[in-house]
């Protein structure tokens, strides 16, 4: 029995080694640079505009002659928001010999594939990093601020710009991100020297939200940070209006910064702000010109997610252009490790990958305010001082 | 004080749970199916209403249209039950509704989008009164009145009227009822339709208060079933009280630090406690 097991194990082991050797040697010789991305093209949460915009950027590079005469082959895989699919498509992309991942917009990608990317030595410039893992991996660098640094930035906005005194926090904490949320809150306390009047990180996604507002009312909060997405923000603000909380500043996160939220809660007469992560997508500014042009020609909806897709693609193209000689996984990794930070007017801090064992290059967000059913950009980037 | 306010706020959610629970109980009592898809069918009707309303149809037309969609869909579900599962046990029927629930959620998410919130009209949104530091809206009062109506009407119908008698006969002994000349299939179709329209109406009223995506609305079936279980799948008034109690309990839990984070699983705890209590006499190794 035991020997049989050893035999089987040996065969399986040999097969694994064989396939990985084949995969390692079978580098693409068809004259293209293969870049992979995973996004939700179907399923509950669709991020198609992310990869569509990135594809436009790569197509533009190809139309202009490619990189050192080689065309970029952008391979997009749909994971339908399903973790099993996320794992499967990452393996398919690795088998396709992608040299790097760029502009992924999958919410399960980091948690599912981090270890696989490390093992395969594939670097990923993510368009939308949403889980804590995205900001704690040596192989992943998201271009967006992310839901943790954004908490710190928004609290700084409340304490410094709005001069709020009693700031309260109501957050839904997803599994695995508790530590990151607590760190973000602690960092604000360290920078501002203040304490939160109420901090509730046990907010439930089901049921009525009024009890949380009653707590805030009792504690006399003058600013409330609320992190969930659109579906929960709308009933939350409606309940706040019912309870007459018109003099409180409501701070929402980037997922709530959408046209449909503006339409749904614009007429409630509440003071609502949201973090935009990038140059606000509703702003008609010079900073947004390149992205606006790309997203329009891509025929994709102009959202904050599509900004992430645009930036991830633009940054990777810059890095690829800096590579002398063959573009392989190794040379891309090396170029990312040694790259010079790239500035872009759409982000508050330059993008860099570098040799670190975790990456969170974007440390600044702008804020938008809800006025007459429209999101209006407010002031300059709020940069979170880097923790030493 | 905060506890009192939270409890009052919870009463509103409780009214919603009760409303959904009563629709589910109606289906069970009249056609003996534990319908896990009840809230999903209701959500389908409610989302049909919101799509029509957003498309410019006046609310007075959109609401009946949404209820009609709920009724039709529920009739479809009923037709499946009558055609293929009329002689099956309750377990089999319940399993079929679970399968249909899963299907409806998938289709609903695809049709009505999970990403962006729909704007559910809330015509009764104006504050009605302030009670214990909580502003209570007309929506809450309408929910409550409707819940009492949902509880009282079927009870009276079943006990006092000839139609009620026929309905009870067909629910308890469908074959016998058919043999003595009751048109069981037609009667059950009417029941399925009414229950579908009622759940659509219930969801339309509840929807603006809760996370406004299809999945969350369809998931209302969990607290609803907890309420029905408290009423032992028989009593309409106790189901009403059960729903309200569950809402109040959830409200109170939000003020209590130690159990705060378990607020969402409270319906399951209630289901478990009720099941253990009602089955306390049973033994594993004895035939039931």
Range list of H helices, A196-303:
210-219, 230-242, 259-265, 289-298
Position A249 pLDDT exceeds 50: yes
Q: Can you give the pLDDT at residue B31?
A: 83
**What is the per-residue pLDDT for B257?**
74
The per-residue pLDDT for B45 is: 94
User: Chain A interface, mutation test: which of B2, B4, B47, B117, most A Cβ atoms within 10 Å?
Assistant: B117
Q: Pick from A202, A207, A230: which is nearest to B250 by CB?
A: A207
Distance CA A121, CA A98 (A): 11
CA distance B75 to chain A (A): 27
Q: Which residues 248-307 of chain A have a CB within 8 Å of chain B?
A: 258, 260-261, 263-264
Reported as type and span, the H/E element at residue B30 is helix B2-31
* Nearest by Cα to A212 from B262, B9, B15: B9
Does the pLDDT at position A1 exceed 60? no
Looking at the complex, does the CB of residue B108 fall below 8 Å from at least one CB of chain A? no
Residue B27 CA to residue B152 CA, distance in Å, equals 15
Mean of the per-residue pLDDT values for chain A? 89
User: Confidence band (pLDDT; 50, 70, 90) for A22?
Assistant: very low
* Residues facing residue A250 across a β-bridge: A224, A272
Return the residue of B nearest to A172 by Cα.
B261
**Euclidean distance between CA atoms B50 and B35, whole angstroms:** 24
Which residue in B11, B123, B254 has the most chain A C-beta atoms within 10 A of its own C-beta, making it the best mutation to test that interface? B254
The verdict on B127 touching A (C-beta cutoff 8 Å) is yes
CA distance B38 to B70: 10
Chain A's closest residue to B209, CA to CA, is A235
Question: The sheet that has A32-39: what strands, in order across it?
Answer: A71-78, A32-39, A100-102, A124-126, A140-142
| Mutation target vs B (from A40, A203, A210, A240; most B CBs, 10 A cutoff) | A210
Protein fold of A23-145+285-357: Rossmann fold (3.40.50)
Chains A, B: CB pairs < 8 Å: 99
Q: Do B39 and B224 form a contact (C-beta atoms < 8 A)? A: yes
Which pLDDT score is estimated for A329? Answer: 94
Residue A239 in contact with residue A210, Cβ under 8 Å? yes
Distance CA A181, CA A353 (A): 23
- Position B81 scores a pLDDT of 87
Rounded to whole angstroms, how far apart are CA atoms B211 and A232?
Answer: 5
Of A205, A244, A260, the CB nearest to B117: A260
Considering only CB atoms, B251 lies closest to which of A211, A232, A258, namely A211
Q: Please determine, for residue A18, whether its predicted confidence score (pLDDT) is greater than 70.
A: no
Cβ distance A234 to B117 less than 8 Å, yes or no, reads: yes
Identify which of B10, B114, B127 has the shortest CB distance to residue A242.
Answer: B127
Cβ neighbour number for residue A42 with a 10 Å cutoff? 13
CA of A102 to nearest chain B CA: how many angstroms apart? 23
Query: What one-character DSSP code corresponds to residue A351?
Result: B
Question: In chain A, which among 28-57 make CB contacts under 8 A with chain B?
Answer: 44-46
pLDDT at residue A57, rounded to an integer: 96
Token duo for residue A258: 């959408």
Q: What are the distances in angstroms from CA B100 to CA B106, B158, B195?
A: 10, 28, 16
pLDDT tens digits, one per residue of A60-105: 999 999 998 899 999 999 998 889 999 999 999 999 999 999 999 9
Instruction: Fill in the DSSP letter of residue A360.
Output: -
Low-confidence spans in chain B with pLDDT less than 50 = none
State the best of A49, A204, A207, A240 to mutate against chain B, taking most chain B CBs within 10 Å: A207
pLDDT digits (tens, 9 = 90+) for A283-296: 999 999 999 999 99
Both tokens of B276, joined, read: 């253990």
Give per-residue pLDDT as tens, A121-139.
999 999 999 899 999 999 9
Is A242 a residue whose pLDDT tops 70?
yes
**Residue B125: closest CA among A260, A215, A241:** A241
Chain B contact for A80, CB < 8 A?
Answer: no
- CB atoms A231 and B212 under 8 Å: yes
Tokens linked to A322: 């800096």
Q: A269 to chain B nearest CA, in Å?
A: 14
Q: Is the CATH number 1.10.101 carried by domain B2-278?
A: no
Confidence (pLDDT) at B121 = 82
Q: Is pLDDT above 80 for A19?
A: no
pLDDT per position as a tens digit, A229-241 = 888 899 899 889 9
Q: Is B109 on the interface with A (CB under 8 A)?
A: yes
**CB–CB contact B210 A238 (8 Å):** no
Q: Which chain B residue's Cα is nearest to A201?
A: B261
A206 Cβ under 8 Å from any chain B Cβ: yes
DSSP string, A57-99: HHHHHHHTT-BTTBEEEEEEEE-TT-HHHHHHHHHHHHHTT-S
Q: What secondary structure does DSSP assign to B104-159, as a single string?
A: HHHHHHHHH-SSSPP----TT-SEEEEETTEEEEHHHHHHHHHHHHHHHHHHHHHH
What is the per-residue pLDDT for A12? 52
Q: A239 CB near a chain B CB, below 8 Å?
A: yes
Residue A6 above 60 pLDDT?
no
Q: Could you tell me if B6 lies within 8 Å of chain A, comparing CB atoms? A: yes
Mutate to test the interface with B, among A80, A214, A241, A257 (most CBs of B within 10 A): A214
Per-residue pLDDT for A324 more than 80?
Answer: yes
Collapsing DSSP to helix, strand or coil, A245 comes out as coil
Mean pLDDT over residues A144-170, rounded?
94
Architecture of domain A147-276+366-383: 3-Layer(aba) Sandwich (3.40)
Contacts of B262 (CB under 8 A, 6+ apart): B253, B269
Q: Over range A356-385, report the average pLDDT.
A: 92
Bridge-based pairing of strands B127-131 and A167-170 is unpaired
On the question of a common fold for A23-145+285-357 and A147-276+366-383, the answer reads yes
pLDDT-based confidence at residue A225 (cuts at 50, 70, 90): very high
Domain coordinates in residue numbering, chain B: 2-278
Whether chain A has a CB inside 8 Å of the CB on B103: the answer is no
Contacts of A254 in chain B (CB under 8 A): none
Domain boundaries, chain A: 23-145+285-357, 147-276+366-383
Query: Considering only CB atoms, which chain A residues are within 8 Å of B117?
Result: 230-231, 233-234, 260-261, 264
Burial B232-251 (b: 16+ CB within 10 A, else e): ebebbebbbbbbbbbbbbbb
pTM equals 0.84
Strand arrangement, sheet containing A249-252: A198-200, A167-170, A223-226, A249-252, A271-275, A364-371, A374-383
Q: What's residue A23's pLDDT?
A: 43
Rounded-to-integer distance, Cα A292 and Cα A284, Å? 9
Relative to beta strand A140-142, strand A71-78 is unpaired
Q: Between the CA atoms of B178, B181, B186 and B191, what dihedral angle is there, to the nearest 10 degrees? A: -70
Q: Which helix (H) or strand (E) holds B14?
A: helix B2-31
B2–chain A nearest CA distance, Å: 7
Q: What is d(CA B18, CA A120) in angstroms, rounded to the nearest whole number?
A: 54
Q: Does the distance separating the beta carbons of B255 and A232 come in below 8 Å?
A: no
Cβ atoms of B125 and B138 closer than 8 Å:
yes
pLDDT recorded at residue A27: 45
- Long-range contacts formed by A376-382: CB under 8 A, 24+ apart: A376/A282, A377/A276, A377/A280, A377/A282, A377/A283, A377/A285, A378/A273, A379/A161, A381/A348, A381/A349, A382/A153, A382/A156, A382/A157, A382/A160, A382/A161, A382/A348
Say if the Cβ atoms of B260 and A202 lie within 8 Å: yes
User: How many other C-beta atoms lie within 10 A of the C-beta of residue B275?
Assistant: 11
Q: Do B254 and A215 lie within an 8 Å CB cutoff?
A: yes
CA–CA distance, A78 with B31 (Å, rounded to integer): 43
Q: Which of B182, B268, B276, B247 is nearest to B20 (CA)?
A: B247
């Amino acid at each position: 029995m035991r020997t049989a097991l050893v035999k089987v194990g040996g065969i399986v082991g040999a097969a694994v080694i064989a396939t990985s050797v084949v995969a390692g040697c079978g580098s693409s010789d068809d004259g293209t640079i293969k870049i992979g991305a995973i996004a939700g093209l179907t399923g509950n949460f669709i991020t198609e505009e992310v990869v569509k915009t990135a594809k436009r950027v790569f197509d533009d590079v190809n139309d202009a002659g490619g990189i050192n005469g080689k065309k970029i082959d952008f391979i997009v895989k749909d994971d339908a928001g399903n973790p099993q699919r996320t794992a499967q498509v990452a393996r398919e992309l690795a088998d396709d010999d992608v040299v790097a991942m760029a502009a992924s917009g999958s919410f399960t990608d980091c948690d599912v594939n981090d270890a696989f990317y490390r093992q395969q030595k594939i670097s990923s410039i993510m368009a939308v990093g949403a889980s804590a893992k995205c900001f704690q991996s040596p192989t992943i660098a998201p271009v967006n601020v992310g839901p943790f640094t954004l908490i710190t930035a928004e609290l700084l906005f409340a304490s410094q710009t709005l001069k709020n005194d009693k700031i309260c926090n109501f957050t839904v904490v997803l599994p695995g991100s508790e530590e990151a949320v607590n760190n973000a809150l602690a960092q604000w306390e360290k920078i501002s020297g203040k304490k939160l009047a109420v901090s509730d990180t046990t907010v439930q996604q089901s049921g009525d939200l009024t009890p949380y507002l009653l707590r805030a009312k009792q504690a006399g909060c003058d600013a409330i940070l609320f992190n969930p997405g659109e579906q929960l923000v709308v009933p939350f603000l409606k309940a706040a209006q019912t309870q007459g909380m018109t003099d409180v500043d409501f701070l929402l996160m980037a997922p709530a910064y959408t046209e449909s939220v503006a339409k749904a809660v614009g007429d409630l007469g509440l003071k609502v702000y949201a973090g935009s992560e990038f140059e606000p997508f509703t702003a008609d500014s010079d900073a947004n010109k390149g992205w606006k042009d790309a997203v329009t020609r891509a025929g994709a909806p102009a959202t904050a997610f599509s900004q992430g897709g645009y930036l991830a693609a633009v940054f990777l193209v810059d890095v690829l252009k800096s590579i002398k000689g063959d573009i392989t996984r190794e040379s891309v990794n090396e170029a990312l490790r040694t790259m010079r930070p790239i500035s872009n007017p759409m982000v508050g801090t330059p993008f860099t990958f570098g040799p670190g064992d975790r990456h969170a290059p974007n440390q600044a967000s702008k804020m938008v305010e809800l006025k007459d059913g429209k999101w209006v950009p407010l002031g300059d980037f709020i940069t979170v001082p880097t923790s030493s | 004080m905060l506890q009192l306010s939270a409890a009052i706020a919870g009463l509103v959610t409780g009214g919603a749970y009760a409303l959904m629970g009563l629709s589910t109980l109606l289906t069970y009592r009249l056609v003996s199916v534990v319908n896990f898809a009840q809230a999903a069918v209701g959500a389908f009707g409610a989302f049909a209403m919101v799509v029509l309303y957003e498309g410019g149809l006046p609310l007075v037309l959109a609401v009946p249209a949404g209820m009609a969609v709920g009724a039709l869909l529920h009739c479809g579900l009923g037709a499946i039950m009558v055609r293929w599962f009329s002689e099956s046990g309750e377990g089999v029927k319940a399993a079929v509704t679970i399968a249909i629930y899963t299907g409806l959620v998938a289709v609903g998410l695809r049709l009505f989008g999970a990403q962006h919130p729909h704007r559910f009209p809330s015509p009764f949104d104006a504050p009605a009164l302030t009670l214990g530091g909580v502003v209570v809206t007309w929506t809450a009062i309408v929910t409550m009145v409707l819940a009492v109506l949902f509880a009282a009407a079927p009870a009276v119908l079943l006990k006092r009227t000839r139609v009620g008698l026929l309905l009870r006969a067909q629910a308890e002994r469908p074959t016998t009822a058919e043999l003595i000349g009751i048109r069981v299939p037609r009667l059950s179709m009417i029941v399925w339709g009414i229950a579908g329209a009622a759940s659509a109406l219930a969801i339309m009223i509840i929807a603006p208060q809760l996370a406004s995506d299809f999945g969350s609305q369809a998931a209302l079936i969990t607290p609803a079933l907890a309420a029905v279980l408290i009423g032992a799948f028989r009593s309409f008034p106790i189901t009403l009280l059960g729903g309200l109690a569950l809402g109040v309990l959830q409200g109170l839990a939000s003020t209590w630090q130690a159990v705060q984070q378990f607020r969402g699983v409270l319906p399951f705890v209630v289901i478990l406690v009720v099941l253990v209590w009602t089955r306390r006499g049973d033994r594993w190794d004895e035939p039931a």
